Structure 1
Amino acid sequence: MRKNFSQTLKHLIKFSSIKLSALADFIGYDVSYLSKWCNNINRPSPKYIARVNHRIAEFIAEELVKQDRLYPFFNEFGIKLSTKITAENAKERLNKEINNLLNDAYYQNQAESLPANNEQSFSPTTPYQTIVGRTNIKKFFNSKIASLLSGLQESISILITSDIVTLLSRDAFLDFLSYCHFSSENINIYIGCNTDKLAHAPASFIPRLYSMLNKYININFHIYNDQSFSHSNVITVKNYFSLQYSIHKDNLMDICTYIADKNISKEIWERTFEKFDYKSCILEPKHDIELVKFRSFFYLDSDLLLFCAKGFEFFLPAQAFKKLLNSSRDYKYSSDMQKTIQNMQITWEEQFESAHIDFFLPEANIIRYIENGQLTYGEIDYVTSAQEREAQLQQLIKSMQKNPNINVYLLGESQPQNEEEYFKLSYYSNTKTAYLKKNKSFLKNVSKTIYLLKDTLLIDKFNQFFRNLQDRPTCRKFSADELEDIYKKNNALLYRIWQKNAPVQ
């Protein structure tokens, strides 16, 4: 259950062990005011809340840095870290997170206390309705709009002309998605991207984007260069309703008009959709089968970065390729698929000899693969036998011994406790082209399985994000000798695992 402003403020004060009087002096309020805020007798005025929260965050962040309680704070308040925190940016990060906690609690608290007539004034069939004020707008989206979208059984297509860099710089958009419990099995969301903002995006942007694509794996996100619609300020849901809004200088909505008139909403959709020019798409969902011919050329490059979120489809022995060829006959465009498999086998064998290849393997993923042998090759789900997995490991070791430019990095993350904590998106890059691939075992609908990156700047930023994984304290680089030593020492254990998990014939 989310805490209100009073509870959050008291929690922060107690955790940081600060005196109420010292905080009151710092923010310029009488201590009696803070006492009322903490006891839920009163709250700061909406007019001054931004300044109040900023000053409170600044004071508490300073104290926590002095106490060297950075990571205890993140654990206490359940904040997951997606980027490394240095000593230089610790205070800034604490300040930001405390400010977010207070703002979220305040606006949540405000929304819960709205008068009953506000609560009952909305109807999905009301042709027009204007909502004024960010607190009312936030509640409107997280309750009414989220509820509408959650109840739709048919396909959902949403156009959002906002800039994705700006959207992910705040929590409002991700917060809204968390309230949407989609029933539809086919959801497409089209979002804009300001390429100038992308060029200067903070380091946190790509981790947040990857996290969003990973968490909402059953949604197809399409991202477009927004130069044709950057001033539109429109959200429109095909065949249902549209929203037009104005933006405050802090990039939050100030005024929003809901339009349910079918004819008007249809015209808004058509006028907006025509601005989403296919040529300006920079992140495009695709079916895996559409990349059949693309892959033959993809691996010809001599510099590869491969992040594997399901199985390990590389260094497969010859017998596995033969079985894959047999399986491919059941797939659409089977002749193209078979040719690709044959070409891939030849290409990989050549690339393993000389190419620079960085493999990044999440620990939870590789453990699952050692146990069950499940991988996806293109659109083909395949289970390697114990013998094939052993031959695969031996081939990896031999290739690394011959080619010192093959690197294996193991990400020793904590064991996931639920679906949300798993890596679900693999990443394949040859520095010039790149794509993300969904782990199909997490898919619950007809979602497309590939995100093709079509913008050089976006590819560069994703490459940097994944290469920076090697700087994590939990990431370890393995040499060929180390892998061989592990294999020899654990050979008997591996056989026991493989025997135990072998499929029943």
Structure 2
Amino acid sequence: MENTYAALLRHLIKFSGIKLSSLADFIGYDVSYISKWCNNINHPSSKYLTRINTCIASFISDEIVKQNLTYVFFNEFQINLSQHVSAEKIKKFLFDEINNMLFEAYYRENNTVATDENPAVANNCQQKTIIGRTNIKNFFITEIATVLNNITDDIEMYITGDIITLLDKQLFFNVFNFSSKNIDIHIGCNIQKLSNENLDFIDKLYNLFNHYIEITFHIHDDKKFQYSNIITVKNHFSLQYSLHNDNLIDICTYITDKTISADIYERTCEKFTADTYLIQPINDIELIKFRSFFYLNNYLLLFCAKGFEFFLPPQAFKNLLSTSTTYQYSSDMQQTIQNMQITWEEQFEKAHIDFILPAANIMHYIEEGQLSYGEIAYTTSPQERELQLQQLVKSMKNNPHINIFLLGQVQPYNKDSYFKLSYYSNNKTAYLKKDATFCSKNNKNIYLIKDFRLLYKFNDFFSTTIKKSDCSKFTADDIENIYKKNNALLHRIWLQSKQPV
């Protein structure tokens, strides 16, 4: 009698001459599972043991009867017949004997056996399964959150789950407070589902990017991996899970074994390719030449979350351009920046441009003068801001299709309440730009939107924003009157900030 389940299973398979692949197909498991059972790496889960043993016994007993090896089998496995068994009942008897042998071998190892449900016994707790959504929720809040929050080196994470579902169910991100300064998270998105989503999804997506401004998100079409159900973090752990029909996780297996987790990571990340990008993070410098063509379109929608880099007077732009040498821009790149400024000036005369400015943002800019022009951080002087305002009014009078919308955001009281993500669209191409103030130097600060469905939804989202009750439209006359009325106040603010007027 074999002492272990693995030894017995190997003996049964060898005796009957069946193939592992044939047995695996019959049971409905991958052949790798059967191989692990035979090699005593894992054992079947106790939860499914009855079905598995029944299938094995049925498949092997059928094969033994077909080969007319029944009595040879009894002799091989030292089974004594206490009574004569008819030919009609011999198969049932054979099945019962094999099934009983499997159960006895399984439980003979008692609680020391590693199973698919609890393999940690055999590999020093490097793998465990959590069952039940409440248990899984607690597991994410405690163990997973603790692991991720304590990682200080770079984090590279791949999530095959759908971003729409994650945001809808408020799963995963809301329990983390990352310590790492360099975090890349790749997530799938179901294109078919995206087409049917309303603007609530864009609101949630923008808020996710805005809240976790220091994280670099990569959004991919999930066509290559939508059934994988994997979360994997390079050099740390992997999770495999199953979803209930309400899209909540009801079973997940947590794997910390370095070899297995690394294999899962490699197999998963190779499915996230350049051609699957829906939203791709890039460096601002990569976008400079692109912007010259971007602003040639006759419709622009611009949500400015930091400063106001448009309508700069010539002297301010000259000073800004000289600052570009600090960023090691080549002469060719500086020429591109100049060309972009010329393009802007031409567009200000004819294009339809909707500027959306958070009230707190524009007040801060009027007081401090801080803006971002590409990767260049620049602070305008009070004189430059005054000339910029005058140029804005002049351009709006010359081109009535330039609109200023002021979003009545309350004064931010902490880092989380700021708008930190700008949006630029020309109706054909669009991108989101991070406020570098909130990011580390290694962050990619541009999200290039590469899918037209996402672009249209973002456009609709911001177009809807200007129709809300807390968003006010200002004409050239409105701005001019406000400027004249508050001119003295503005100069006092600038004097108080100790900047030369």
TM range (shorter): 0.7 to 0.9
1:289 match: 285
1:308 match: 304
2:93 match: none
Matched, 1:239 2:235: yes
C-alpha distance after superposition, 1:425-444 (max 9, x if no partner): 00001011111111111224
2:325 match: 329
Cα distance, 1:337–1:499 mapped onto 2, change above 3 Å: farther
Matched, 1:299 2:290: no
Deviation at 1:335, TM superposition (A): 2.3
**Alignment of structure 1 residues 204-215 onto 2, 5 Å:** 204-215=200-211
Task: Tell me the distance in 2 between the aligned counterparts of 1:337 and 1:498.
Answer: 33
Task: Tell me the distance in 2 between the aligned counterparts of 1:192 and 1:332.
Answer: 36
Deviation at 1:413, TM superposition (A): 1.8
Describe the SS at the equivalent of 2:247: coil
Larger Rg over CA atoms: 2
Describe the SS at the equivalent of 1:330: helix
Q: Do the aligned partners of 2:154 and 2:180 also contact (CA within 8 Å) in 1?
A: yes
2:37 match: none
Q: Do the aligned partners of 1:386 and 1:502 also contact (CA within 8 Å) in 2?
A: no
Deviation at 1:341, TM superposition (A): 1.8
Task: Tell me the distance in 2 between the aligned counterparts of 1:150 and 1:354.
Answer: 50
1:391 match: 387
Q: Decide which of 248, 251, 259 is 2:244's aligned counterpart.
A: 248
* Cα root mean square deviation, aligned: 1.7
Describe the SS at the equivalent of 1:395: helix
The aligned amino acid for 2:149 is: S
Q: Which runs of 5+ in 1 are unaligned?
A: 1-120
Q: Do the aligned partners of 2:432 and 2:448 also contact (CA within 8 Å) in 1?
A: yes
1:203 match: 199
Cα distance, 1:493–1:147 mapped onto 2, change above 3 Å: same
**Alignment of structure 1 residues 27-38 onto 2, 5 Å:** none
Task: Tell me the distance in 2 between the aligned counterparts of 1:271 and 1:332.
Answer: 39
Matched, 1:224 2:220: yes
TM-score when normalising by structure 2: 0.74
Deviation at 1:179, TM superposition (A): 2.6
Describe the SS at the equivalent of 1:232: coil
Q: Do the aligned partners of 2:279 and 2:448 also contact (CA within 8 Å) in 1?
A: yes
**Alignment of structure 1 residues 84-483 onto 2, 5 Å:** 126-173=125-172, 177-444=173-440, 446-483=442-479
Work out the percentage of aligned pairs sharing the same amino acid: 60
Cα distance, 1:504–1:495 mapped onto 2, change above 3 Å: closer
Q: Do the aligned partners of 1:304 and 1:356 also contact (CA within 8 Å) in 2?
A: yes
Cα distance, 1:485–1:274 mapped onto 2, change above 3 Å: same
Task: Tell me the distance in 2 between the aligned counterparts of 1:294 and 1:202.
Answer: 30
Deviation at 1:171, TM superposition (A): 1.6
Q: How many residues align?
A: 381
Task: Tell me the distance in 1 between the aligned counterparts of 2:133 and 2:239.
Answer: 15
Task: Tell me the distance in 1 between the aligned counterparts of 2:349 and 2:410.
Answer: 34
Deviation at 1:178, TM superposition (A): 3.2
The aligned amino acid for 2:436 is: K
Deviation at 1:203, TM superposition (A): 2.6
Deviation at 1:494, TM superposition (A): 1.0
Cα distance, 1:504–1:318 mapped onto 2, change above 3 Å: closer
Q: Do the aligned partners of 2:381 and 2:500 also contact (CA within 8 Å) in 1?
A: no
Q: Do the aligned partners of 1:130 and 1:256 also contact (CA within 8 Å) in 2?
A: yes
Q: Do the aligned partners of 1:233 and 1:245 also contact (CA within 8 Å) in 2?
A: yes
Deviation at 1:136, TM superposition (A): 0.6
TM-score when normalising by structure 1: 0.73
The aligned amino acid for 1:136 is: N
Q: Do the aligned partners of 2:131 and 2:252 also contact (CA within 8 Å) in 1?
A: yes
Task: Tell me the distance in 1 between the aligned counterparts of 2:250 and 2:199.
Answer: 28
Describe the SS at the equivalent of 1:168: helix
